[in-house]
Amino acid sequence: MTMDDKNSGALVFFGATGDLAFKQIFPALQALVTRHGLNIPIIGVAKAGWNLDQLKARARDSIAQHGGVNEAEFGKLAGLLRYVDGDYRDPDTYSRLRAELGEAKRPLHYLAIPPSMFGPVAEGLAKSGCATDARVVVEKPFGRNLESAVELQAILHGVFPEPGIFRIDHFLGKEPVQNLLYLRFANLFLEPIWNRVYVSSVQITMAENFGVQGRGGFYEEAGAIRDVVQNHLFQVLASLTMDPPTGEEHDAIRHEKARILRAVRPLSDADIVRGQFKGYRNEAGVAPNSRVETYAAVKLFIDTWRWAGVPFYIRAGKCMPVTATEVVVNFKRPPRDTFGESAPGLVNRLRLRLSPEVVIALGMRVKLPGERMEGEHVELIAMHQTGGDMSPYERLLGDALRGDQSLFASEDAIEAQWKIVEPVLGDVTPIHEYEQNSWGPTEAGLLMGDPGGWLNPAPTGVPAGTAT
């Protein structure tokens, strides 16, 4: 990574001994060193009673489990590592950090720690001089509701200017999510039909074929709405519906996303179905009478001229039949059934599969062989395998070190997202139990206005899911 006047001269990551560092940060740092020439001090901070050799051993174990260790390249990373062991509330911790930073300009502080510690760490950085001309990266969840999100904004703004705050959502760093924006704005053919005149509805599904995987305590605090709907899937929604960004500055895309999210109508009780898979209450850390949702389906409307009246259906759930994230844009039927075919589901659609593989598929009607003017639904498919893609954390950490905020959530967007879900947070609607390995509670079908119902992702991107 070549240095210029905008790049950070050091990377500090709080929570260096934690799970996130092991699973994501160390592999991303190795990639940045290997593929991008990162050559700046990397300072881990934690209260674990460790020393630098133990941190290096932890880094080696992490990289060994996430791609394997190349001794020469790991040696470069290990040579950049530094370590400060201390309590986040102890001023001495920050004095020692200040000494490790030396003459580094624009240090990037990554807070891979619980949000409850943002305040003490920001204060410690400010009092020690470590926050001078610095940047900060904070992990989601950014608050638990609108009020707590605003409070966190105020804490960070008390130390860092908005251009120096990077709110990381790894979903935004994924190649398929970037492809959504590229597909829309690098091609002209979609724009004339990308509006309420031609689009009848949009579905966004994020299905996972596993449960909470031992993280019951975390899920009791989060639930599906806070975990993936309010952030990941709303960002997909914004990418699908935003207007083209104007200008090339970093904030152009973020401004358009925030603008469209502010136009989304807040949810009401009638717009949501919550579910919980059978057996969830038996998970470790889960209350025996838990009312936390492991499945959520919502119906949204966007009050703009482009999208007025078009329903957007979003669902996310655990213990589904497959693991896949998919977008389906249904277009309106021709104004007249020329051939007398009026069965539900006879529509054109654009299907965008975001994971685990990348698929772009255009659904249309073609004539069946024979004398009768009858047709069938087929898809024209372009498919891109995801192997070898840059990892989200590699991309996002590299951008943050360069000061590029394009792929990070803005303050306005986060507050708009919380305003959408605020009316339905908590146990304010019924919780419906559903069988594992199913598509969730049957009540979710009642949200749908589409005759064909939900389009369920198939186990692979080809063929298309079956309408139910």
Q: Which two tokens stand for residue 338?
A: 């020329």
Amino acid in position 73: E
Interatomic CA distance for residues 88 and 80, integer angstroms:
22
Return d(Cα 193, Cα 468) in angstroms, integer.
26
Sign of the alpha-carbon dihedral angle for 204, 209, 214, 216: positive
Q: Is 167 exposed, middle or buried (0-12, 13-18, 19+ CB in 10 A)?
A: buried
Catalytic residue among 109, 170, 232, 377: 232
The closest alpha carbon to 205, from 346, 311, 320, belongs to 320
CA dihedral 207, 399, 191, 324 (to 10 degrees): -10
Q: What is the DSSP string of 337-370?
A: -TT----TT---EEEEEEESSEEEEEEEEEEPSS
DSSP state of 467: B
Q: For residues 294 and 211, what is the distance between their CA atoms, to the nearest angstrom? A: 8
DSSP state of 322: S
236: closest CA among 194, 204, 200, 266?
204
Task: Name, in order, each residue with C-beta under 8 angstroms of 112's C-beta and a sequence gap of 6 or more.
Answer: 13, 14, 15, 16, 18, 20, 21, 25, 139
Classify strands 272-277 and 431-434 as parallel, antiparallel or unpaired: parallel
Residue 354 burial (CB count, 10 A): 24
Residue 255 annotated among the catalytic residues of the structure: no
Structural tokens at position 234: 């709303």
How does strand 272-277 pair with strand 295-300?
antiparallel
Instruction: Kindly list the strands in the beta sheet with 108-111, ordered across the sheet, starting from the edge strand earlier in the chain.
Output: 81-85, 42-46, 11-14, 108-111, 135-139, 165-168
Name the pairing type of β-strands 324-331 and 199-207.
Answer: antiparallel
d(CA 152, CA 154): 5
The dihedral through the CA atoms of 424, 430, 436, 441 has a sign that is: negative
Taking Cα atoms as reference points, which of 229, 232, 227, 231 lies closest to residue 215?
227
Q: Catalytic amino acids?
A: 232
